[in-house]
Structure 1
Amino acid sequence: MTGTHAATPVEGREAYCELEHQLGVLFRRSRALSAEMRRDVHPELDPGAYGLLVRIDEAAPARPSDLAAYYGIGKATISRQLKALETLGLIGRAPDPVDGRAHLLELTREGRQRLDRARRARQERFRALLDTWPEDEVRLLGEMLSRFNTLTETF
């Protein structure tokens, strides 16, 4: 059997049904791209650890408890993932000057280089993929996704 079967839309909700379908396609492809990105950063990087590495970069210096709260996971789970990143030499720990019991996380030089290299490759891939689109449409897509992501943070 060929073709895709989207859910039958409720009358008057066709646009929302199509959006749900297209987001599902996007999320599946995004997971595959993230797996590829993860391997580009380090071949031994766990699937969930790539996103954590990106978040540490965004929030650095980051406390493990803040990362656990951000992802809605337990401290034991975040500790295992952080240990794996540390073992691979991608992050380092430093004492928290405000709270001597805690520590702060940042990317190591190696982690920074690997993440930057993977990001550049991903950006070039997007550029090649969207090369036929006018730049203002690419910018509009980015703005619309940003608006959508902001909505999902508060939902």
Structure 2
Amino acid sequence: MNAGRHDRATEDPSERASAVRSVELEFSELMAHVRRLISRRAERVSPGMLPGAYKVFTAIADTGPITASAIAERLMIDKGQLSRTVRELEDLGLVARTPDPADRRAHLLEATDLGRGRLEQARAPEEPGLSRALEHWDLADVRRLAALLHALSHDEVPDRDGAADA
């Protein structure tokens, strides 16, 4: 039995509820920070670009060439909205569409050289941000944070050292 699980039998349920609310609050703060970051980057890529278009663009740039249906599934967005956004990105010269050699009915989306350059410039001001924020943390704490986030996102139980039990 995992030591972390054993301790749960003696803990105060109201303390656990309070701790979980604290985690929710911190995630809300983190998500708000990420939304502001995405908005700033979208504006740097193309003035007036909406955050949703930036998310589609980065999904294409970071994973392309990729089909529109794969992007829609990955981002959980409506295919009609995605189609309009891709057209907008094409009109800006940030994305190119080519026939999918595996399925001639589909197209592959890929960032253009212009798009990759703009994205690199948009990301540059904040690139060192996480490194800077964690530079004074002990390496063990950084590794534990990564392990805990992995466990949380994969619905696993971390052990005392932060590694997840599968």
Change (3 A) 1:96 1:149: same
The residue aligned with 1:18 is 22
Within-5 A mapping of 1:5-154: 10-135=14-139, 137-151=141-155
Q: Is the 8 A contact 1:45 1:85 kept in 2?
A: no
Greater CA deviation, 29-38 or 11-20? 11-20
Q: Which runs of 5+ in 2 are unaligned?
A: 1-12, 156-166
Say which SS state the counterpart of residue 12 (structure 1) adopts. Answer: helix
Distance in 2 separating the partners of 1:141 and 1:37: 26
Name 1:3's counterpart in structure 2: none
Distance 2:101 2:76 in 1: 25
Give 1:14 shift: 2.2
Deviations 1:17-58 (CA, angstroms, capped at 9, x unpaired) = 110111111111111111111112221322201111111123
More strand by share: 2
* RMSD, matched Cα: 2.3
In 1, the alpha carbon distance for the partners of 2:120 and 2:147 equals 23
* Aligned 8 A contact 2:60 2:110 in 1: yes
Deviation of 1:71 after TM superposition, in Å, equals 2.1
Structure number, greater radius of gyration: 2
Q: Alignment identity in percent?
A: 35
1:101 partner SS = strand
Return closer, same or farther for 1:18/1:115 CA change in 2, 3 Å cut-off: same
- Structure 1 130/42 Cα, relative in aligned 2: closer, same or farther at 3 Å? farther
What TM-score, normalized to structure 1? 0.79
Q: Which moved more, 1:142-151 or 1:33-42?
A: 142-151
| Paired amino acid for 1:35 | S
TM-score, length of structure 2 as denominator length: 0.74
Is contact 1:92–1:106 with CA below 8 Å preserved after alignment? yes
Instruction: Report the AA paired with residue 65 of structure 1.
Output: S
Whole-angstrom CA distance in 1 between matches of 2:51 and 2:98 = 25
Contact 1:56/1:106 (CA < 8 Å) preserved in 2? yes
